[in-house]
Amino acid sequence: MLIADSMKTQRPRLLVVDDDRAILTLTGTIALAEGFDVATTVSGEDAMRQLSQRPVDLVLLDLRMPGVTGLDVLRAIREVSPRCKVVLMTGYATIDSAVEAVKLGATDYLTKPFDLQRLRKLLMVVRTEADQRRTVLTLEGDLAQHLEFCGMVGRGPAMQEVFGLVRRLAPHVRTALITGETGTGKELVARALHTLGPRSNKRFLTVNCSAVVETLFESELFGHVRGAFTGATDHKAGLFETADAGTLFLDEVGELPLPVQAKLLRVLEEGEVQRVGSLEPRKIDVRLIAATNRDLREEVAAGRFRNDLYYRLNIVEVTLPPLRKRREDIPYLIAAFVRNFSQRFGKSLVGLTPGAERLLADAHWDGNVRQLRNVIERACILSEGEFVGEADLAGSMQEQRQVGSAPMPSPASYFRADGPAPLIEVERDHILRTLQQVRGNKAVAARLLGISRRAFYRQLERHGLHHRIPMSAHDELPDTADAAELERV
């Protein structure tokens, strides 16, 4: 509502570029009276700078200026902001190049001295179009929301195919494997398979295979009886039993230790579990969904993953393409995220400036949708106007390759004379750097690292950092990961 209202009241924007100040005053006065916000400049360079910072509906552009000419500016506008209207202003002498310019994408041209009636009419047309465009922008946000499939936005053919597959599989599937790079939405797909399936009113339990201590795996998954090992003071049901009749989501299944893989295979084949320390088999009826960002075929070839388990899991495989292979989804994801964060942070953001949008459209996105979401969240926090600009993205786009994902930065300090530093140190170092980068804000640090806040606190404890990092005021930012995390073990 906030967004729609602010857009209705928004005035269209005009930029006038001419080295003749009298023209700036004349056109500016008329445009103001016609309901425009007006910016003026005498230089082509400055015009290009302004255009990359703020979206403009119309540019009135002098063709002949010293330095960067009108044609140069026109070309730049066409690159950065294809929807912006450009009207050239020219004397009779240069009318040929005006025709040329129209060929290059200018909307129209005005000859000097101006026919003021014509100028007014032109402004009116642009104003009507700008109003319509803003309505479309709101609709695009609405559309992005309506395109949501169980919380996922994906308009391009690749994601539509995934949605179709999930819809077809959900009613029937017993085991499924979801693969894809980090941040591509594997967990969302796992939840969609559960939600759209016949067991949606039963439990969906997640176990993160990389977070469980190896020696506790068996007891976590299958349970134990009292006295089965030191510390087993009581009987305990494992996750398979707890999730009975529902869905068990084995996240990061590629991290499962080999001995546990063997036991998991047996459970899947026999449909029963034995608690650690007991010989009594218990029947279980669990839908098992596994996910990994590793290439399990490679893991099998390297002897780290059992071939038979791999074939058992991938009877049905859903593969999520990386974001860079479905760039057509980026504008819709941006629209959905901007709307979401704008509402959450009580702002009236409408969208991105053309420069910012282009920056995001071209980025590599190693951390995929999660990273895009993080970048937009941060920009929405920083942004003060109606549009997220390049400046709001600057910090996070520089860290593009660090945020979120697999290819870790490898500072020289990670490699010493006696070989690589131990993983635990690299991890600790990375956590510290991330905290420094966000000035100690743990909620934001956790998001950048792509883990929930609770998991992040566990990491701080593990590295003995929990006493060193003071709480910051922002730590209480709402954390969307929390709801999911409550269900985690």
Q: Which residues bind Mg ion (CB under 5 A)?
A: 187
- How would DSSP label each residue in 420-482? EPPHHHHHHHHHHHHHHHTTT-HHHHHHHTTS-HHHHHHHHHHTT-TTTS---GGGGS--THH
Q: Say whether residue 223 binds ligand ATP (CB under 6 A).
A: no
Whole-number minimum distance, CB 2 to ligand ATP, in Å?
22
Candidates 187, 299, 357, 392; binder of ligand ATP (CB under 6 A) is 187
Whole-number minimum distance, CB 370 to ligand ATP, in Å?
4
Whole-number minimum distance, CB 3 to ligand ATP, in Å?
19
Q: Say whether residue 428 binds ligand ATP (CB under 6 A).
A: no
| Tally of residues, the chain | 489
Residue 466's DSSP bridge partners are: none
* CB of 251 closer than 8 Å to CB of 206: yes
Distances (CA, A) of 462 to 108, 255, 273, 479, 486: 65, 19, 31, 22, 20
Q: Which is nearer to Mg ion, 181 or 187 (CB)?
A: 187
Whole-number minimum distance, CB 209 to ligand ATP, in Å?
11
What are the residues whose beta carbons fall under 8 Å from the beta carbon of 113, sequence distance 6 or more? none
Distances (CA, A) of 420 to 210, 405, 416, 426, 463: 22, 20, 6, 9, 19
Q: Say whether residue 141 binds ligand ATP (CB under 6 A).
A: no
Residue of this chain nearest to ligand ATP (CB atom): 185
State which of positions 245-304 bind ligand ATP (CB under 6 A): 293
State which of positions 62-101 bind ligand ATP (CB under 6 A): none
Residue 200, class by beta-carbon neighbours within 10 Å (0-12 exposed, 13-18 middle, 19+ buried)? middle
Whole-number minimum distance, CB 208 to ligand ATP, in Å?
8
Q: Which is nearer to ligand ATP, 187 or 299 (CB)?
A: 187
347 binds, among ligand ATP, Mg ion, none (CB under 5 to 8 A by kind): none
State which of positions 309-368 bind ligand ATP (CB under 6 A): 333
Q: Which is nearer to ligand ATP, 24 or 481 (CB)?
A: 481
Q: Say whether residue 435 binds ligand ATP (CB under 6 A).
A: no
- How would DSSP label each residue in 9-70? TPPPEEEEE-S-HHHHHHHHHHHHHTT-EEEEES-HHHHHHHHHHS--SEEEEES--SSS-H
Q: Say whether residue 370 binds ligand ATP (CB under 6 A).
A: yes
The window from 119-127, 166-174, 178-186, 433-441 that contacts ligand ATP (CB under 6 A) reads 178-186
Q: Say whether residue 373 binds ligand ATP (CB under 6 A).
A: yes
Q: Say whether residue 185 binds ligand ATP (CB under 6 A).
A: yes
Closest of 404, 403, 384 to residue 395, by C-alpha:
403
Q: Say whether residue 197 binds ligand ATP (CB under 6 A).
A: no
